């Protein structure tokens, strides 16, 4: 049930951007679990997977919608020379696998959130997206993040 929600939320956005549906990967779940279990707001250094993180949202839908349609995500997309964002990772054409995990942390070090405990969410992607120089061929979006 948990994995279906993640896949549904990612794949509904990916379909709008002509990206194929993702498949679930237990090895990516394990990578996401390692990240969230640390309760530290920091991407994995030298990671072979792509990563998106979120904290404090109450649902998978709000997490993924925030990654795609939140402030400074698809609205700042300018085309092939854009900076990578959560949005570009979610809709990255070459990515085929997804694995996500959530951990409830007393707090997430590196974040200044008022609530405690905090739900810390992470997804890992394979192959990773957000490769500099490959945005134009992997993100089918017009400026402003509108689907082509």
- The Cα 131–Cα 126 span in angstroms is 12
Query: 57: which strand partners?
Result: none
Question: In which band, very low, low, confident or very high, does the pLDDT at 82 lie, cut at 50, 70 and 90?
Answer: confident
**124-144 residue pLDDT tens:** 999 999 998 999 999 999 888
The pLDDT of residue 67: 97
The pLDDT of residue 127: 98
Domains in the chain (CATH in brackets) are 2-145 (3.40.33.10)
Task: With a cut of 80, say whether residue 1 has pLDDT above it.
Answer: no
**86-110 residue pLDDT tens:** 999 999 999 999 999 999 999 999 9
**Burial level of 19, CB count in 10 A (0-12/13-18/19+)?**
buried
- The Cα 23–Cα 1 span in angstroms is 14
Q: What percent of the chain has pLDDT over 90?
A: 77
Please enumerate in sequence order all residues whose Cβ is within 8 A of that of 4, keeping only pairs 6 or more positions apart, or say none: none
């Amino acid at each position: 049930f948990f994995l279906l929600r993640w896949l549904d939320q990612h794949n509904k956005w990916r379909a709008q951007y002509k990206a194929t549906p993702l498949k679930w990967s237990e090895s990516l779940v394990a990578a996401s679990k390692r990240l969230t279990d640390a309760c530290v707001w920091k991407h994995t250094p030298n990671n072979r997977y792509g990563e998106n993180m979120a904290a404090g949202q109450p649902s998978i839908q709000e997490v993924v919608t925030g990654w795609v349609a939140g402030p400074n995500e698809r609205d700042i997309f300018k085309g092939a020379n854009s900076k990578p964002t959560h949005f570009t990772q979610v809709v990255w054409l070459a990515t085929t696998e997804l694995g996500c995990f959530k951990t409830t942390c007393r707090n997430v070090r590196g974040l200044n959130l008022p609530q405690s405990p905090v739900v810390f969410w992470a997804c890992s992607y394979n192959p990773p997206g957000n490769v500099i120089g490959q945005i134009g061929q992997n993100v089918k979006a017009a400026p402003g993040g509108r689907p082509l």
